[in-house]
Amino acid sequence: MGQGYSGDIMVDASFNDAMIGMLKKTIGTQLVSLECLKLDKFDRTFAYATMTTSASRIEFADEEQLIAYLGTTEDWPILTCRTIPNDDHYEPFTNQTSHKYPLLGTVQTIEIINETIMFPDDEYELTRTLCIYIHTDQGTVSIGALSLFAEDLTVGMNTVPIVLPSIQEVEQAWREHPDDDVRVTRSVVQVQ
């Protein structure tokens, strides 16, 4: 959880061991494509993206989940991943067409960026997965849940890693009042 703080309510919505193990199985495989609703001019798509490799398909989802939040429960967009069958036609939304984008390279390493948001005055902290960097021999594929309160995925394909919002920006976004004590830390899980 958070570093240097031990709140009464600690919610861990980051990738679990099964999700990390699933990503680890992609190391050494060839990337094929990414399927999602058409990317906007900021390289964002809504809620879902599926990455196909030479061995598997993994769906990344940034969708609302009910979590404990400051004495109640709230729906927050949380990034998750799961395998889906290779032979399934991918259509996360009815009446909308998915677009297929080519991916390049063989997966070499993966970095999972987790973010912990702490509210010391309320004795609460939330850890969530913010972004995944899939490093290949031909660039990096990035999939990030960068919008704090929206079900959007930001995607970078065959390029340098996408830029994360600064910790100061995240702290400011979580403050309801200018003097609220909000602290944000980030950690990296290396998958090799």
Task: Tell me, rounded to whole angstroms, the distance of Cα 145 from its chain centroid.
Answer: 5
Is 94's pLDDT higher than 70? no
- Residue-wise pLDDT for 104-131, tens only, equals 999 999 999 999 999 888 888 999 999 9
User: Residue 120 has what pLDDT?
Assistant: 84
User: Residue 92 has what pLDDT?
Assistant: 66
User: Residue 143 has what pLDDT?
Assistant: 95
User: Residue 4 has what pLDDT?
Assistant: 44
- Residue-wise pLDDT for 137-171, tens only, equals 999 999 999 887 888 899 998 888 888 999 999 99
For the chain, what are the domain ranges?
9-85+98-191
**pTM for the full model?**
0.88
- Dihedral, CA of residue 89, residue 154, residue 61 and residue 129, to nearest 10: 150
